[in-house]
Chains A and B, each alone.
Chain A
C-alpha cells in the first residue's frame, strides 16, 4: 500500500499483571492497516486478538510500543482525548451486541451521534437511513430484547458505522450467531466496506468470516504469525462463475 496507514503499530507489547503474575498477551506486534481494508485477525483463543483490538480502539494502553491512529501517537492522549478519539474515529461491534437496553433500536443507533453533538433532527434522519440500508428499519421503535440476536448485531453494526468512523473494530461479531445469520452479517459489512468505504478489522476465529476478508492476519501467542492479503472467497466464486 502506498497511502499512509490509517493505523500503525510499532512493536506493541501488552502484559497483564495479576497478583505479581505477569501474563504476556502481545509480544511485539508491528503492523499497518489502511483505509478501505476488510481485515480479520485470526488465531486461537488466548492468542491476543481481542487485546490487540482493544489497544487499537484506545480502550486499553500497551505496556510497550506505540500505536498511531492517522499518524497521531495514541500514548500521548489523555483518557478524555482517547474517549474523543473513539467517538470521532472508531466504531465498535462487540460479540455480545451490547446495545443499551432502555433505548429503542433507533435511539441505540443514534446514540453515538448524540454523543457527537449532532442535532436531533439530523441524527434521527441519519440513524433511520442506516437502519434502512441494513434492512432493519422496521425495528426502529423496538427495544433490543424484542428482536433476535442477528438483528441486534445488525443494530450494533448500524451504531458502529452511523458516526462515519475511520475504522470499525469488531470483536468476534459472529460468535453468537448461526451460520445463515453470520453470512448475512458478513455480507452486510462487506457492502458497507465496498459501497461506503468503511474500514473493518475483525478479531475472529470464525472460518466463515476468514474466507470473506481481503486481508488475514494470524496471531499466535501474542505475535503476528502470518499476514496475508487474499482474494475473498465470494469474489473467487464470482470470478469462477463468470
Chain B
C-alpha cells in the first residue's frame, strides 16, 4: 500500500496524466448533465406553463376532427370527477379552435385559444410576456397575438381582425375582434399561429356557451420532467374517476417533439459518455502499462521476496484506485463548481443562429445548468469503474511476471 502511494508521488507527470484521464470525462459528463437537465427543465417549464400543463383531460379522439382537438360540448361531468381526485394543484378549462385570421388582404391559419385569463396568468406569466398592449381579462372582447403573427399580418395593438371558426364539430362562426396586445411566445411556431382570447370570446366563435377542448391540469409537487411518478399516479387516479368518453394525456404525449428530443438526448449522452470514458480508459491503461513496464525489475524483486500474485495485482490496483478516486472526485468537484459558477453569473447567453434555433424550439437562448447529486455520483462512479476495469490489464500483466525474468528485465 505504502509502495503504491509512493509510486503515485514519484512519477508526478504520469500520475497527473492518469488523474486527468479520469477527471476530464467526469467533468464533461457532469457538464453535459448540467446542460441537458437545464434544457429539459427549460423545455418542461416553457411547454407545461404556456401550453400543455402537466396533463390534460380531453374528449376521446374521434374520427373526423382532423388536426382539431375533439370538442367537449359540456365538460361539467369531467370537472366533477376532477374535484374528487387528490393531488391536482391547478386546473383551467380551455377551448382551442382552428380558425382563419384575416386582416385586410392577409389571411392565415391560426389557432384561437380561449382561456380564463385570471387562471392562466399566474402559471404562464403572460403579463410578463406582453411586448405591447395588455393581457386579457375575462370580460375582454379582444385578442392578443404573438410577435411573429403580428409581423406577418402587419398588426398593431388597436387593429381589428376577423376570425372565422373552422372546427369541424363546432358551428361555423365569424367574429371581428380588436387586438389588445402582442406577446412574446416561448416558441416561434406558437408565435406564428397562436391567438389568445378569453374563453367567452372563443365560445362565441364556436357558438356554444359550454364548449371546451381541454381541462388543463398541474399536479401537486411536480417540478420537472423527471417527476414522472407523481404524474403517473395522478393520471391513473383521474382515469379511474372520469366517466367514459374522456382521456388523460400527459405533457409528453401532447408535445411529441419533446419525446423526440428525449429519445435523441439519451443515446447522445450515452455515446458521448462512452467516447469520453473510452478515451479516459485508454490513457489509464497506457500510463499504468508504462508504470508497470518501468517497474518490471522492482515487481520481479517483490515476487522473488515471496509476494503473491494477488499482492502484486493489489499493489497496481491500489495505485490505480487512489488516482481514479482522486480523479473522479476532482472531476465531480470541478464539474459541480462550474455549474454553480455558470448559474451564479445567470447562465451562458447564446447568440446568432443558435439563439434563434433555441427560440424556435421553445428553449431559452440563455443556457442554464443544473445537476443532481445522483447524476454527479453516477458520472464519477461510472468513470471510476471504467478506469479500474482498464487498470485490470496492466495489473494482471504485473502479476503474471516471472520473478527472475522480471529482475533481468532491461528497459
User: Considering the complex, which residues of chain B in the window 265-319 have a beta carbon less than 8 Å from any beta carbon of chain A?
Assistant: 297-298, 301-309, 311
Question: How many residues on the B side are at the interface (Cβ–Cβ under 8 A)?
Answer: 20
Chain B residues, CB < 8 A from A112: 305-306
Known A54-B404, A59-B403, A59-B404: A102·B308 in contact at CB below 8 Å: no
B229 contacts A by Cβ under 8 Å: no
B62 contacts A by Cβ under 8 Å: no
Complex formed: what's the CA distance from A80 to B303 in Å? 10
A173 contacts B by Cβ under 8 Å: no
Choose among B303, B306, B308, B311 the residue with the greatest number of A CB atoms under 10 Å from its CB. Answer: B306
In the complex, the chain A residue whose C-beta lies closest to that of B312 is: A83
Complex formed: what's the CA distance from A22 to B6 in Å? 42
User: Considering the complex, which residues of chain A in the window 45-61 have a beta carbon less than 8 Å from any beta carbon of chain B?
Assistant: 54, 57, 59-60
Complex formed: what's the CA distance from A98 to B305 in Å? 11
Interface string of A56-91 (1 = CB under 8 A from B): 010110000000000000000001100111111010
CB A169 to nearest CB in B, in angstroms, measures 10
- Which of B6, B298, B304, B309 contacts A59 (CB under 8 A)? B304
Choose among B10, B301, B407 the residue with the greatest number of A CB atoms under 10 Å from its CB. Answer: B301
B13 contacts A by Cβ under 8 Å: no
Say what secondary structure dominates the interface of chain B: helix
In the complex, the chain A residue whose C-beta lies closest to that of B302 is: A100
Complex formed: what's the CA distance from A8 to B15 in Å? 47
Choose among A84, A111, A112 the residue with the greatest number of B CB atoms under 10 Å from its CB. Answer: A111
Chain B residues, CB < 8 A from A101: 10, 298
Known A54-B404, A100-B298: A107·B2 in contact at CB below 8 Å: yes
Chain A residues, CB < 8 A from B2: 103, 107
Complex formed: what's the CA distance from A85 to B306 in Å? 7
Interface string of A144-178 (1 = CB under 8 A from B): 00000000000000010000000000000000000
B108 contacts A by Cβ under 8 Å: no
In the complex, the chain B residue whose C-beta lies closest to that of A90 is: B306
Known A100-B301, A102-B7: A60·B307 in contact at CB below 8 Å: no
Interface string of A186-211 (1 = CB under 8 A from B): 00000000000000000000000000
On whether the beta carbons of A98 and B308 are closer than 8 Å, the reply is no
CB B404 to nearest CB in A, in angstroms, measures 5
Complex formed: what's the CA distance from A116 to B306 in Å? 9
Chain B residues, CB < 8 A from A98: 297, 301, 407
On whether the beta carbons of B306 and A57 are closer than 8 Å, the reply is no
Complex formed: what's the CA distance from A94 to B306 in Å? 14
On whether the beta carbons of B10 and A102 are closer than 8 Å, the reply is yes
On whether the beta carbons of A92 and B308 are closer than 8 Å, the reply is no
Complex formed: what's the CA distance from A90 to B306 in Å? 9
A229 contacts B by Cβ under 8 Å: no
B348 contacts A by Cβ under 8 Å: no
Complex formed: what's the CA distance from A100 to B3 in Å? 8
Interface string of A8-52 (1 = CB under 8 A from B): 000000000000000000000000000000000000000000000
A225 contacts B by Cβ under 8 Å: no
Chain A residues, CB < 8 A from B3: 100, 102-103
A235 contacts B by Cβ under 8 Å: no
- Which of B6, B10, B305 contacts A86 (CB under 8 A)? B305
Complex formed: what's the CA distance from A92 to B307 in Å? 13
On whether the beta carbons of B298 and A83 are closer than 8 Å, the reply is no
- Which of B305, B308, B403 contacts A111 (CB under 8 A)? B305
CB B382 to nearest CB in A, in angstroms, measures 31
On whether the beta carbons of B306 and A115 are closer than 8 Å, the reply is yes
On whether the beta carbons of B307 and A83 are closer than 8 Å, the reply is yes
On whether the beta carbons of A79 and B309 are closer than 8 Å, the reply is yes
On whether the beta carbons of A86 and B306 are closer than 8 Å, the reply is yes
On whether the beta carbons of A115 and B311 are closer than 8 Å, the reply is yes
Known A102-B10, A103-B6: A87·B404 in contact at CB below 8 Å: no
CB B309 to nearest CB in A, in angstroms, measures 7
Known A59-B403, A98-B407, A100-B298: A86·B304 in contact at CB below 8 Å: yes
Task: Pick 18 A–B contacts, CB within 8 A, sort by A.
Answer: A54-B404, A59-B304, A59-B404, A60-B404, A80-B309, A83-B303, A83-B306, A83-B307, A83-B309, A84-B306, A86-B305, A87-B306, A98-B301, A100-B3, A101-B10, A102-B6, A111-B305, A112-B305
In the complex, the 6 A-B pairs of residues with the closest C-beta atoms, listed nearest first: A87-B306, A102-B6, A86-B306, A98-B301, A59-B404, A59-B403
Chain A residues in the interface with B (C-beta under 8 A)? 54, 57, 59-60, 79-80, 83-88, 90, 92, 94, 98, 100-103, 107, 111-112, 115-116, 159
Extra contacts besides A79-B309, A94-B407 (19): CB < 8 Å: A54-B404, A57-B304, A59-B404, A80-B308, A83-B308, A84-B306, A85-B306, A88-B306, A90-B306, A98-B297, A98-B301, A98-B407, A100-B301, A101-B298, A102-B10, A103-B3, A115-B305, A115-B311, A159-B305
